[in-house]
Copies of this chain bind each other. A is one copy, B any other.
């Protein structure tokens, strides 16, 4: 298991609209013809699926440097690591049947095997570049499809375990950073509007998780009756620009209405990060969020945006545990987090 030393080559999160869109993701749900869906499959069938998927997915024409992680035999820390890197879902991390994930060398691609569907492939990209992500995952999909038969109906399209995924089996999502909408309280309005637009607004680790650091995962919900490119264009060109603009306008409101209050929030946050000796993950996420906001609004300088972006990941529990000799207690975790943040920010 090579997760320990893996770098995060794409994790500088620099991409179009990265002031609001930290990263984007395209996910495909696929099932194999002739196999029952995972929730109806026997243990033997699950294992057979794993063997087949492993043989097909671990090749360089799918993606360079693919590794295979057997989730059942992985430690709880490694499962948490994968989740913190957004490479597997929370449900997938916590269930107990035979399952695995394949991850590309640059960690932009992951293929969960025996999640809700036989194959759940996702492609992550920094910023808002869904076309690029879409092209890349199509290539992966084609490479895999060339070696096995997907469950496909000429009437319904790709068949999936949950009806909401039937059709294209595609989902587009972004990790949006909405600190200004959070401060102004308008994020709830965004959530309500999103519902009307058939969008899902979820937490930092997707379905069933809470927002953290003012990050929200926003995704389209419709997969049936439209082509992938129609869905993508609607999401990227019609829906997301509104959300980006709404957040940007809210940021400008903070600057215009009360720049001193904004500076107070930003500079306090930065000062605490640079000096605290103990930091909980929620507080650290909140403070990093304010510094990130302050950087884009040019209220502070002398700190590297990429260092802040990386810290959002590095302060997560399993990542802190990576560099520790032994299992950290809660208190030691808070201390290790503060030490890491302080040394990173030169406090």
Contacts and interface: CB of A to CB of B under 8 A. Distances in A.
A344 to B, nearest CB: 16
Interface in A176-225: none
Contact of A276 (B267, B277, B335, B338): B267
A271 B278 contact: no
A327 B59 CA distance: 74
Q: By CB atoms of chain B within 10 A, which of A261, A263, A271, A338 has the most?
A: A271
A270 interface: yes
A260 B333 CA distance: 13
A270 B276 CA distance: 10
A260 B278 CA distance: 7
Contacts of A267: 275-277
Contacts of A272: 268, 271-272
Contact of A277 (B260, B270, B278, B335): B260
Interface residues of A, number: 16
A276 B270 CA distance: 10
A274 interface: yes
Nearest to A332: B260
**Within the oligomer, what is the number of copies of this chain?**
2
B264 A338 contact: yes
Contact of A263 (B261, B271, B277): B277
B275 A271 contact: yes
Interface in A255-273: 260-261, 263-264, 267-268, 270-272
Contacts of A263: 277
Contacts of A278: 260-261, 264
Nearest to A267: B275
Interface string A27-62: 000000000000000000000000000000000000
Interface string A262-304: 0110011011101111100000000000000000000000000
A289 to B, nearest CB: 17
A195 B264 CA distance: 42
Given A264-B338, A267-B276, A271-B274, 5 more contacts: A260-B277, A261-B277, A263-B277, A264-B278, A268-B272
20 contacts: A260-B277, A260-B278, A261-B277, A261-B278, A263-B277, A264-B276, A264-B277, A264-B278, A264-B338, A267-B276, A267-B277, A268-B272, A268-B275, A268-B276, A270-B275, A271-B271, A271-B272, A271-B274, A271-B275, A272-B272
